[in-house]
Every structure is written in C-alpha cells, then in structure tokens.
Amino acid sequence: MKLFSVQNITYSINENKLFHNLSFEINSGEGLHIKGGNGSGKSTLLRIILGITSPSKGLIQSYDQDLKISYLGHKNAIKNYLTPIENLELLFSGDDLNVAFEWLNKFGLSHVQDELTASLSFGQQKKLALIRVLAQSSDLLILDEPFVGLDQATADQLNSFLAQKISQNAGLILTSHITPMIDCAVLDLGAKNA
Amino acid sequence: MFNSEFKNLNELLEMGGHGIYVWSVYLIGISIIAISFLVAKKRIKAVQRKIKFKNASS
Amino acid sequence: MLLLGWIWGLLFAPQDAVQGNSYRIIFLHVPSVIFAELIYFFMAVCALMHLVWRVKLAAYLIKSAAPIGAMITFIGLFSGSIWGIPTWGTWWQWDARITSTLILFIMYLGVLTLHGSFSNLEKADRLMSILVIIGVVNIPIIKKSVDWWSTLHQPASISVSGSSSIDPSMLYPLLISIIGLGFTLISLGILSSRSYILSREKNKKWVLMHV
Amino acid sequence: MLSFIKAESFKLSKKLKSWLGPLLVMVLVLIAFPLSIDISQYDLDKFYFSIIIVSLLMTAFVATEGMFEEDFEDGSLEQEFLKEKDFYKLVISKIFVYVCLIGIPIAFIGALFSFANGVAVDSFGKVFLLLILSNLLLFNLFAFGNALSINKGAMLGVLSSLPLALPVIILLGRAIRSIQYEDGFFAVTTLMVGIGLMVSAIMPLIISVALKTHID
C-alpha cells in the first residue's frame, strides 16, 4: 500500500538549492534509508515529508489522512527538568504508558527513572527520546539519525524492533551514516549540495 | 505675500530669537536625509560590485 | 520642490501671531510626521500582500521602507521636541500623540531588528509581515488619541473638506513641503529598495544581465 | 483541550523558577520602592498605583519570557505540529495556564499592596479584578512578542510587544483613576473585559501562525 509519494521536490534556502526534482514513493512494509554527506539535506527532506517544512517546488501526496506517524528529530522533545517517568507520563496514557515503561526497563533506564533528565548522559537521553517514538503505535516511522549515541546492544535492539515493525507492514524512513541491519531501499543525496 | 518677512540676512538667521531652534532642526533634518541618500547609493554600488565579482569568478 | 516649499516657508511666510517665528519648523515637522504614518501604512499593505499572496517583492519593499520610516519618524520626533522648547517651554511631554509617535519609532526599530535576527530570510520576511500588520493597530491609536485625551497639540490644521484653520500664506508652502518631502522619500525608497532587491536576488539571471 | 491544560500546568509547576520568579520580582519591587524614597515628603498613595502598574508590566514580561522557547528548543513544537497540525489549542491553553498560575497571584499581590497603601478596603475586589484583566491582556501580548522572537533574546521581545502593551497600561491607568475618583468604573471594566476577550481569542491565532513560521 502506498503511504506517501514525493513528486519533483525542489528545496532551496536563501537561494541555495539543496536538492532538485526529487521523486520517490514510500510504501507500507518497506524501509527507506536516506544517505548523504553533512549538509546534503537529509533532515530537511524528512521534515518536508512530514509537512513541517514546505518545499520550494513540488508536491507531497499523502494517501491516508489518518496515518499515524512517529518522528524522531535532531531535537529529543523531552523535558530535561522532569524525570524520565514524568516525561513518559506527560506523553502517554493507558496501555501505551505500560509499553513505554517496558521499554524503559529494556533499555536499562529503570535505575535512573526518578532522576532529572538533565543529569542523564547523552546516550540515555537519546534512549528516552527513542522510547517516545517506539511506544507509539504508528504506521510510519520517520527517524533522523536514530543510531547516534547508542551503544551496540541498544542499536541491536532498535534494529530488531524496526525489522519487526516492517514485517508488521509499517513504513520506515531513516537517515543514518551507518547502514542499518534492515532490508532497505537506499536514497543517496550525494556528498554535498551541488 | 511674496515680500520676505526678513529685511536682511542677520534677521533671517536670528528669527526673533528662535533662529537657533529653527535652523538646527533644518540642518539636522537635511543632513539626515542627505546621509541616507548617500548610504543608499553606496549600497547599490557595493551590491553591484559584489555581483560583478561573483559573475567574473564563476 | 522640497526646497521651494522650504524657502517659501522660511523666508516669505508671515509670523505666527502666537508662536512667532519658531512655527517655521512646521515645514519639516508636519510633512515628516505625515510620512512617518504613511510609510507604515504602505508597509502594512505590503505585509498583507506578502502574507496573503506570497508576493516576494512586497517583503523586499517592507524591508527597504522600514529604515526610511524610522529615519523620518526620528526627524519628526526630533523637530517636534525642538519646536516644543520655545513654544511649550519643554522639549518632551507625555502627550498622547508624541507618545504614540515614539511607539511608531519603536515599531520601526522592532521590525528592523526582527528581520535582522534571522538567518533564514524567507522566515524573517514572513515574521516581519506579521509584526507589521499587528503594529498597524497603532496608527488609529495615534489618530484617535488626540480626541481621547485632551492634549497640547493643536488639532489637525489641514482638513480636506473646505475650511482650514491655517492661513493660505502658510498653507501653500506647507503643502508644497509635504509633496516635496514625498518625492524625496519616494526617490530614496527607490534607491534603497533597488540595492536591497539586487542583493536578495543576486543569484537570478536577470540581475546578472542588469549588472 | 483539557489534556493540554493539564500537561501545561504540570510542566509549569515543575519549573519553579518560571512561576515563582515573577512573583518574587513583584513583591521585591513593591517593597523596595517605598523604601527608596522619603515617604514623609510625598503622598505615597497618590502614585503608588503607577508603581504597581509598572511592576505588573515588568513581571508579565519576565513571566512570559521563554514561554515557547523551551518547547521550540527541545523539539516539542514539531511533535505537537505533527499531532495537531495547528497550535491554536496549545497556545490558548498555555496562556490560560500562565494567567492562572502566575497572572492571578501577581494580581493578588498587587491588590494586596494597594490595599496596604491607603486604598479603601471595599475597592480591593475592584483592583484585583482590574489587575487580572490587564494581566490577561499583557500575557497575550507578550506571548506574541515571545513567539516572534523565540530564542532571539528579550531585547527583540520588548521591541515588538512593548508598543502593543502600552495602550493596555494607559487603559489600566484610566481604570485605576476611575476607582480613585469613584467614577465610570463599570464602563472602563466592561471595555477591558471586551478587549480582553477579543485579544485572547485572536492573539493565539496570530501566535500559532508565528510559531508555524518558526518551525518551518
């Protein structure tokens, strides 16, 4: 099933073109790995697909208005003056909250769950941000550099989770400098902006 | 109507004691406008130079 | 034309019965205050065009009109306060109209600062337009404030409909000064918007052709 | 809507600095001012109100400082946008929470101090009401200044929202005078309620447009 189609996208910022006439489709049950050098517009492309940033030219077509998307951006979207538990309580309720707490255990964060998030390490904060994404039941996952700052064990957990999600017919788009251990189509934006 | 209010230059400058106010206002007003004209002209020149330079280099 | 109005006003117009010669500041003060408001209106119209129809040029015009507006508002405030020394005996009064002109000046500065603080210029254009439109509420307040609070200012001396409370021998030079300042500011606006448009569109082909 | 209000008030209550700070500033100014002049020479209660008004302005500014900044910085705004496609509800509940948790206590402090400085006891309620209303207006306006200048510093916020806030101050001064001279209080208050409702309905719309432009 088609989820999104991206048609002839051009994006320029202050008259500098990031990419030109880009077209592709995103289907459910498929992964897409966006590669490219620093500043090649990977994150911007994700934000355009999400509808946060509007492209200079071109069209994003969504085939399902009720599509549930979870997005992990550069910014973690967690409050560092709250504890991990409070953060999750703010975001989830009911069954999702239980799922989120399970992830907290799986990622080995349960011993810091009552400390302020600000005092956690970068990797721990990243894990917390991942939980925010993983515990949502969603049809499409859009992850911007999900592997940065994770240790090998967590990266493996994330890989297997993503593989499982894809087998459950969810779509996946991610940007990463390392190749994920999942079957993915690859879109290369090139080394730098041409 | 077209007879000058002032008989000589001195009177014009003094304006019955108010000359200093009147003339300072005009002086400063004119100089501000003039300076902004100069700045605008300079900017155009600078931009044109920049574009030319870019054009030549590419 | 500006020069003509000023020379006429400064040299030939008769003395004001009450205020003496100091009223001659009027030929700079009134035109500049009028244009201080007009330029803001112009910016607001442009802002609307920019937000509704996404006209890029409109944003460029706002950006180049704002410094001119700030300049002319400053001249208006400055000449007004100097005029106040001999006539009212004070250079500043927390009178409603002066205050709202001061606010207008702050608005101009705010618009400029806002635009200056973003690296993404298109974003800056849009936010600036929002601010300009919000600020246009300010102009009716300037106008109305004279009626709301009784103030030192004489009510507007020139009315379009017939009787003016000002003698023709002063009115004509004043009108000429207004028109003259208008032309001066328009030419200044053309100059500065030209440089700004060129710098914003420097990657476009027509700019290269032009230079 | 209710969930927004709940979440926002939870967040604000955890940020001790953000909601206690403005209250402390208010108290400090109101105490420090009478101490800084020779009271016997001046008729303090005549112009003590203007101090209250000015410190109201200041504290409203301090309170709204960083209202959206944190959500913008940590990416919560983007997530909110994905969920709701619009910020109107978020903004309106945020302002509501800020007014309830910070604005009303500030108004209470202000009214208390005016009471302590020679205002008749029975006009306490009137002053309190007026201060709440003007806080509602000020918070909306400063929130706008904030939304325009997210993370660009207080200077820009002042420049863009002070011109809007000054009419509120003048109106409040008017209203206070009407209490002192017991004349036309009802009319001024009705005017303020009207403006307050209008502003707090329209401002969030404009703010959400500004926020959308920011995350773009």
A4 contacts A26 by C-beta, under 8 angstroms:
yes
Number of helices (H), then strands (E), in chain B: 2, 0
Q: How far apart are CA C193 and CA D184, in angstroms?
A: 50
Question: Are D144 and C134 an interchain contact pair (Cβ–Cβ within 8 Å)?
Answer: yes
Which residue segment(s) compose the domain that C173 sits in? Answer: 2-6+26-149+169-210
Give the phi and the psi of residue D20 in degrees, each rounded to 5: -85, -30
Q: Are chains C and A in touch, 3+ Cβ pairs below 8 Å?
A: yes
Stretch D180-199: mean pLDDT: 83
Q: Mean pLDDT for chain C? A: 75
Which residue segment(s) compose the domain that D140 sits in? Answer: 2-215
pLDDT digits (tens, 9 = 90+) for D140-184: 988 988 888 886 766 777 777 887 887 788 778 778 777 777 777
Helix crossing, B19-57 with C26-53: angle to 10°? 30
Placement of tokens 């035109």 in the chain: C31
Q: How far apart are CA C196 and CA C64, in angstroms?
A: 7
> What ipTM, to 2 d.p.?
0.76
Q: Is residue C160 part of a domain?
A: no
Q: Would you call C102 an interface residue with chain D, using a CB distance cutoff of 8 Å?
A: no
Q: Are chains B and A in touch, 3+ Cβ pairs below 8 Å?
A: no
- Is D61 or A185 the better-scoring residue by pLDDT? D61
The pLDDT of residue D91:
92
CA angle A169/A174/A177 to nearest 5° reads 140
Predicted confidence band at C163 (pLDDT cuts at 50, 70, 90)?
very low
Mark which residues 48-87 of C lie under 8 Å from B by CB: 67-68, 71, 74-75, 78-79, 82-83, 85-86
Q: Is residue C158 part of a domain?
A: no
Q: Is residue C68 part of a domain?
A: yes
> What subunits touch chain A, counting only 3 or more CB pairs under 8 A?
C, D
Predicted confidence band at B54 (pLDDT cuts at 50, 70, 90)?
confident
Q: How far apart are CA C90 and CA C98, in angstroms?
A: 13
pLDDT score of A168 more than 60:
yes
Q: Would you call D79 an interface residue with chain A, using a CB distance cutoff of 8 Å?
A: yes
pLDDT score of C150 more than 60:
no
pLDDT score of C124 more than 60:
yes
C151 contacts C95 by C-beta, under 8 angstroms:
yes
Q: Is residue C95 part of a domain?
A: yes
Q: Is residue C57 part of a domain?
A: yes
- Minimal C-alpha gap between A14 and chain C (Å): 6
- Minimal C-alpha gap between B36 and chain C (Å): 8
Instruction: Specify the number of domains making up chain C.
Output: 1
Stretch B37-47: mean pLDDT: 87
DSSP string, chain D: -HHHHHHHHHHHHH-HHHHHHHHHHHHHHHHHHHHHS-GGGS-HHHHHHHHHHHHHHHHHHHHHTTTTHHHHHTTHHHHHHHHHS--HHHHHHHHHHHIIIIIHHHHHHHHHHHHHTT--GGGHHHHHHHHHHHHHHHHHHHHHHHHHTTTS-HHHHHHHHHHHHHHHHHHHHHHHHHHHTT-SHHHHHHHHHHHHHHHHHHHHHHHHHHHHHHH-
The pLDDT of residue C67:
92
Q: How far apart are CA A160 and CA C121, in angstroms?
A: 42
- Is C209 or A178 the better-scoring residue by pLDDT? A178
DSSP string, A19-38: EEEEEEEEETT-EEEEE--T
Q: How many CB pairs under 8 A join C and D?
A: 51
**C203 exposed, middle or buried (CB, 10 Å; 0-12, 13-18, 19+)?**
middle
Stretch D185-205: mean pLDDT: 88
Residue numbers in A near C204 (CB within 8 A):
15
Q: Which of A166-175, D150-159, D207-216 has the lowest mean pLDDT?
A: D150-159
Stretch A71-94: mean pLDDT: 85
pLDDT score of B19 more than 80:
no
Interface of A to D at Cβ within 8 Å reads: 47, 50-54, 69, 71, 73-82, 86, 90
Q: Which one of D91, D174, D213, D215 would you mutate to disrupt binding with C, by most C Cβ within 10 Å of its Cβ?
A: D213
Q: Over the range C163-201, which residues count as b (16 or more CB within 10 Å of their CB) and which as e?
A: eeeeeeebebbbebbbebbbebbeebbebbbbbbbbbbb
pLDDT score of C19 more than 70:
no
Question: Are B55 and C74 an interchain contact pair (Cβ–Cβ within 8 Å)?
Answer: no
Residue D35: which residues within 8 A CB-CB, separation 6 or more? Answer: none
Q: How far apart are CA C199 and CA C183, in angstroms?
A: 24
Query: Cα–chain-centroid distance for residue D88?
Result: 19
Q: How far apart are CA A135 and CA D41, in angstroms?
A: 68
Mark which residues 122-181 of D lie under 8 Å from C by CB: 144, 148-149, 152-153, 155-156, 159-160, 162-164, 166-167
Q: Other C-beta atoms within 10 Å of A95: how many?
A: 10
The pLDDT of residue C159:
41
Instruction: Specify the number of domains making up chain D.
Output: 1
Long-range CB pairs of C185-188, under 8 A, 24+ apart, other chains included: C185/C35, C185/C39, C185/C68, C185/C72, C188/B33, C188/B36, C188/B37, C188/B40, C188/C68
The pLDDT of residue C70:
93
Closest chain C residue to B31, measured at CA: C75
End-to-end Cα separation, chain A, in angstroms: 33
pLDDT score of C1 more than 60:
no
Residue numbers in C near B50 (CB within 8 A):
199, 202
- Is A59 or C3 the better-scoring residue by pLDDT? A59
C30: three-class secondary structure by DSSP = helix
D172 contacts D110 by C-beta, under 8 angstroms:
no
> What subunits touch chain B, counting only 3 or more CB pairs under 8 A?
C
pLDDT digits (tens, 9 = 90+) for C38-94: 999 899 999 999 888 888 888 999 999 999 999 999 999 988 888 877 777 777 766
Predicted confidence band at D119 (pLDDT cuts at 50, 70, 90)?
low
Alpha-carbon distances, residue D10 vs A101, D15, D94, D122 (angstroms): 20, 9, 11, 35
